[in-house]
C-alpha cells in the first residue's frame, strides 16, 4: 500500500513528521506480512502465557528505532519491546511495533503497528496501520482523523441497546480481581453486542470510524493507546480514564453513549 498518497493534501507544519510516521509504519507493516501465517514465526512469552512476543515484533521495532535514531537523534522514544529512552525530551515517539500479537501469532487479521509523536507529552500525530486489512488510520492534533485518505467520525448512535462495543482482558487477569469480568457481564445485558478484537489500537480506531460505538479496557500501556486515542478524539469520540490505579484504563465512546457506558462500567443504577 502506498501510504504516502493518503496525506498529499495535508499542508501542516508537522508534515515532515507525518511522512516519517508513514514511512516507519509501512516498513513495519512489510515486516509483519513477511512473517504472517508462515512457519518462520518464532515466538515466546514475556510476563505470562497470555503475553506473547514474536520475531516480527522485534524486527519491526528495530526498523522503527533505526529510523528514529537516524532521522531524529534528539527525540525520545517509548516502545513496547525496548522500554523508555529519554522520555523527558520535548519530542517523543511512542511505538507499539505490533499491537495484536496474539492475533498475529494465530494467523488472525486484526493486528497493526501503532506510532504516535508527542510534543511535551501530548500526542500531536497518530498513525495506526493494519497491513493485512490494508487499513491506515491517522490523525493530526486539531486537524481531524482519516482512514485511507477519507475523513472519519465516530458514530452518532444514541441508544445503548443498539450499541456494538469492544473490550479486552488485562494480562494480569489471573492475579488481579479487577480483571474486567464483572464489567463484561453487566455490559452484555445492555448492548447489542460485545466484540473482542484483540488490539487496543484497532479498537480505538474502529471507535473513531464508527465501526464500533464504544470501547473500554483496563491496564493498558502508553504505547497501546497513544496513537489510537488521538485518532479517536480527532474523530469526535471522547476518551477518558476509568481507573486511577490501573495504568492506562480507558473508555472511548461517541458522546451520546458516554454517560450510559460510564454508568454500566461503574455499576451505578441507570
DSSP string, 98-150: EE-HHHHHHT-S--EEEEEEEETTEEEEEEEEETTTTEEEEEETTTEEEETTE
Residues 29 and 54 in one domain: yes
Q: Are 173 and 96 contained in the same domain? A: no
- pLDDT > 90 in the chain, percent: 78
- Same domain, residue pair 115 and 166: no
Q: Are residues 71 and 197 in the same domain?
A: no
Do 116 and 165 fall within a single domain? no
User: Which of 121, 151, 181 represents a domain boundary (last residue)?
Assistant: 151
CATH number of residue 173's parent domain: 3.40.190.80
Compute the distance between CA of residue 151 and CA of residue 209 in angstroms, rounded to an integer. Answer: 9
Q: Are 140 and 215 part of one and the same domain?
A: no
- Which tens digit of pLDDT belongs to each residue from 75-121? 999 997 666 666 689 999 999 999 999 999 999 999 999 999 999 99
Q: What is the number of structural domains in the chain?
A: 2
User: How large is the average pLDDT for residues 34-46?
Assistant: 74
Q: Kindly give, in sequence order, each residue whose CB lies less than 8 Å from that of residue 183, ignoring residues fewer than 6 positions away.
A: 167, 216, 264, 265
Range of the domain at 176: 160-266
Please, are residues 223 and 189 in contact by the beta-carbon 8 Å criterion?
no
How do residues 143-200 score in pLDDT, each as one tens digit?
A: 999 999 999 999 999 999 999 999 999 887 777 778 899 999 999 999 999 999 999 9
Q: CATH no. for residue 68?
A: 3.30.540.10
Residues 164 and 147 in one domain: no
Parallel, antiparallel or unpaired: strands 76-79 and 52-54: unpaired
Q: Mark which of 125, 151, 177 sits at the end of a domain.
A: 151
Between residues 64 and 10, which one has the greater pLDDT?
A: 64
Amino acid at each position: 500500500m502506498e501510504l504516502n498518497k493518503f496525506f498529499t493534501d495535508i499542508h501542516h507544519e508537522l508534515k515532515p513528521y507525518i511522512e516519517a510516521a508513514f514511512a516507519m509504519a509501512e516498513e513495519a507493516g512489510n515486516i509483519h506480512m513477511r512473517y504472517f501465517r508462515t512457519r518462520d514465526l518464532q515466538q515466546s512469552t514475556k510476563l505470562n502465557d497470555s503475553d506473547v512476543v514474536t520475531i516480527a515484533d522485534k524486527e519491526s521495532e528495530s526498523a522503527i528505532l533505526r529510523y528514529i535514531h537516524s532521522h531524529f537523534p534528539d527525540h525520545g522514544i517509548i516502545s513496547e519491546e525496548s522500554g523508555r529512552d529519554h522520555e523527558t525530551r520535548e519530542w517523543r515517539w511512542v511505538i507499539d511495533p505490533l499491537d495484536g500479537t496474539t492475533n498475529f501469532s494465530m494467523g488472525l487479521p486484526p493486528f497493526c503497528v501503532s506510532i504516535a509523536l508527542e510534543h511535551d507529552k501530548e500526542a500531536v500525530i497518530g498513525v495506526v496501520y493494519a497491513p493485512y486489512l490494508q487499513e491506515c488510520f491517522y490523525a493530526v492534533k486539531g486537524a481531524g482523523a482519516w482512514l485511507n485518505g477519507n475523513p472519519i467520525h465516530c458514530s452518532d448512535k444514541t441508544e445503548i441497546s443498539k450499541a456494538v462495543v469492544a473490550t479486552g482482558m488485562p494480562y494480569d487477569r489471573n492475579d488481579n480481581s479487577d480483571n474486567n469480568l464483572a464489567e463484561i457481564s453487566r455490559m452484555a445485558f445492555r448492548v447489542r453486542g460485545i466484540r473482542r478484537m484483540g488490539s487496543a489500537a484497532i479498537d480505538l480506531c474502529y471507535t473513531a470510524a464508527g465501526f464500533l460505538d464504544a470501547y473500554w479496557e483496563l491496564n493498558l500501556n502508553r504505547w497501546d493507546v497513544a496513537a489510537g486515542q488521538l485518532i479517536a478524539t480527532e474523530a469526535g469520540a471522547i476518551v477518558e480514564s476509568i481507573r486511577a490505579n490501573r495504568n492506562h484504563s480507558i473508555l472511548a465512546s461517541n458522546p451520546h453513549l458516554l454517560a450510559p457506558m460510564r454508568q454500566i462500567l461503574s455499576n451505578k443504577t441507570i
